[in-house]
Structure 1
Amino acid sequence: MTPLIPFTARKYSNMVATIGFFDGVHLGHRCLIEQVINEARQCDMGAFIVTFSNHPRTVVKSGYQPKLLTTVPEKTELLRATGADACVILQFTPELAALTAKQFMEQILYREYGVKKIVVGYDHRFGSDKLSGLTHYQRIGRESGIEVLPAKKCVMGDFTVSSSFVRRLLEEGNVEQAEKCLGRSYELSGIVVEGHRVGRNIGFPTANLQPFSKEKLIPGCGVYAVEAMIDGRTYGAMLNIGRRPTLKNGENISVEAHIFDFNGNLYGESLSLRFRYRLRNERQFESLEKLQMQLGCDSLLARQLLSSV
């Protein structure tokens, strides 16, 4: 039995739960979890989140390479902040994938974790038998001692918030719209590694970020205004993601931040970047001098935008 991760001091023997991968813990997820919490409080039960440490598709679909919005530690802290009482992070294995919906309800939810109610997302499916709708889950739930409740949709304007929609926004570089869906700025963390030192020679030294997780999604190529977190302090910065065509970097994607008003050696240090605005597409310049002039303009715009945050 995978142990619970308690988020609050409250302890309950009976639980209201929801299940999902919850990548990004976006506003849609938080809307669902809020329904779980409300139901739990009305019934004097615990609000319980069941999630997974690895994407289920990596098990059921050979060769699938996820691009994740959150690492497991990031997701855990975001789930903690929702106000739920506890969560469990299961390893999604072939054995778990083989369980039918009824087996999962009875063996995992009911027997191991005392789940008496489950809130099911409007488009969520679980179990190897891939049941076709809410009524099927409710019938199996009654047989298993679990009441199955439907969740409400979370709609923003004319679209439904989902992890895949947020990924698409970030891949397009639309970090502002992604922030609205996430309810916070998207972040990318890693370690600073040595680069080519070209930026230093033209007056714009950069910290080259190597992300901690190879599965974490890197937003689309372009220039961004970001906030850089170093040792508990926040600095404004401009960031280039791309192939550095002016410098003939080939097909390698680099993540390089020029941090404003910072002096120091960051090699080997942790750096987190919070995406706020997209400034422009990456493009090739005729010379380093013209690149330098453009970076000066980017720097002024980034400072201006970040000063209004």
Structure 2
Amino acid sequence: MQIITDAIQSFSFPPCAATIGCFDGVHRGHQYLLQQVTEVARQEGLCTALITFPVHPRQVMQSDYQPQLLSCLPQKTNLIQSLPGDYCIMLPFTHELSCLTAREFMQFLHQQYNVRTLVIGYDHRFGHNRSEGFEDYCRYGEELHIKVVQAQALTEENISISSSVIRALLKEGNITQANHYLGYSYYLDGTVVNGYKVGRKLGFPTANLLPSCPDKLIPAEGVYAVYTYIEGQRYKGMLNIGCRPTVHNGTNRSIEVNILDFSGDIYHKQMRIEFQHFIRKEQSFPNLDALIEQLKEDRNTVSELLTL
């Protein structure tokens, strides 16, 4: 899919079937929506367009809003590029755009992007204050010569797969189900930074990750089995997210991974962590010996769960 970042200024669009949304995570529900857009476009002889925003709209409207994203912009762009379709339009969200009514926004899509058919997500609303619904969009579509289609949700066991559902799963540590709904392993990218080096003293040296995207959601505190990627190589990893209560780390949360069967200086290098399994919640131990024994058990568990 071709990413268009300057569509307003310099790109002339052929007639298209389009859908619009934040597409945070580009999960299986989003992919199912795009399949429906592609099918409509095929039936009507149109190209396909996915319209999204480089910045979450609420961040524009509320300067203190913390979105807890599933995918920051570079990650979202990479995920979208791998999908079938013709165009992904990165539409800058502005205060002026937020003031448009639903009808005015649809007119903008028609005039600017040559949208002939608009496929709307099953729970998506747009326009000033998001006060109008699907029947209103259909009425405006008739006036503007835009066909309006409501997409079906992707559901499993009566649950509609959505970004909010996946966020909730990650916050409770349910990595297995979150990954299933995403269609890929949830991951954090970042830089290896200096830590307190407590793990090294315990016999479990760790690499501390500083996430490259400060707005990306950090899963629930606890111990995880992860794959760790450094310079293109994949390793098994035992990850801890939390405040390390046994060593009295206060409220300073860290993201640190003990990389199995690895040694080397990786400070300031880029690292990716892919979450695979939740092992246990973070807990306080009566002494360091008890902590070390638990870490040994955790490492054995991680080694058995992961394969290279």
TM-score by length of 1: 0.94
Partners of 1:131 and 1:34 in 2: CA distance = 27
Using the TM superposition, name which of 170-179 and 127-136 deviates more: 127-136
Q: Among 3, 6, 30, which residue is 1:3 paired with?
A: 6
The 5 A counterparts of 1:56-205 are 56-61=57-62, 63-107=64-108, 109-128=109-128, 130-205=130-205
- Counterpart amino acid of residue 102 in structure 1: R
Q: List per-residue Cα deviations over 1:84-110 (Å, max 9, x = no partner).
A: 211111221111101111111112x11
Q: Quick one: which amino acid aligns to residue 215 of structure 1?
A: D
Count the aligned residue pairs: 302
Counterpart code for 1:172: E
Aligned to 1:39: 40
- Cα deviations across residues 37-68 of structure 1 (Å, max 9, x unaligned)? 11112222111000011111223446321100
Aligned residue for 1:24, secondary structure, equals: coil
Task: Give the counterpart letter for 2:76 in structure 1.
Answer: K
Given that 2:102 and 2:132 are in contact with CA atoms closer than 8 Å, whether structure 1 keeps it comes out as no
Query: Which residue does 1:7 correspond to in 2?
Result: none
Contact 2:126/2:132 (<8 A) preserved: no
CA contact (8 A) 1:101 1:129 kept: no
The Cα offsets for residues 111-155 of structure 1, whole Å up to 9 and x where unpaired, read as: 111111110011110111534321210111121221111101111
SS at match of 2:178: helix
Match for 2:179: what amino acid?
Answer: E
The residue type equivalent to 2:194 in the other structure is E
> In the alignment, residue 74 of structure 2 is paired with which amino acid?
P
Q: Secondary structure at the match of 2:306?
A: helix
Q: Which runs of 4+ in 1 moved over 6 A?
A: none
Q: CA RMSD in A?
A: 1.7
Match of 2:229 in 1: 229
1:285 aligns with 2:288: no
Kept after mapping to 2: 8 A contact 1:54/1:91: yes
Cα distance in structure 2, aligned partners of 1:63 and 1:163: 21
Say whether the 8 Å CA contact 2:33–2:151 is kept in structure 1: yes
Q: Residue type matched to 1:268 in 2? A: H
Q: What TM-score do the two structures reach when normalised by structure 2?
A: 0.94
Which amino acid in 2 is paired with 1:99?
A: L
Partner of 2:50: 49
Unaligned 5+ segments in structure 2 are none
